[in-house]
Amino acid sequence: MRPFLLFTLCMPALTPLPFWADGPGQTQFVDHCAACHGLHALGGNGPDIQGSTLRDVTVATRGMDQMPEIDLSEAERRAIAVYLMSLSPEIAAQKLRFESQIAR
């Protein structure tokens, strides 16, 4: 009983990060995007893309001017977007509001 209680009390301290912080999206981002956009998506050869939504990621991965086309599944794009939105929830919220206005 006692060790279990201790374990339960420690759980929040052991998991201080949101579930996506080290999730598949971050791995996908590091594998496919970080070389150009920086490890924290703050920019490098490519621009700062923190807060990018699924729509942004989908449009960009079709290929842009200097951004290459990158073949990812919808699940992968979604995971990357969740990760990028988690890095800047305020920007993400603004983008989602804007998207909901133009998407009709």
Q: What residues make contact with ligand HEC under the rule CB under 6 A? A: 32-33, 35-37, 45-47, 49, 52, 56-57, 60-61, 64-68, 70, 80
Distance between CA atoms of 5 and 80, rounded to whole angstroms?
A: 36
State the number of CA atoms in the 13 A half-sphere of 76 facing the CB: 12
Closer of 13 and 29 to ligand HEC (Cβ):
29
Q: Closest separation between CB of residue 18 and ligand HEC, Å?
A: 19
Closer residue to ligand HEC in complex, CB, 2/80:
80
Contact 62, 69 (CB under 8 A): yes
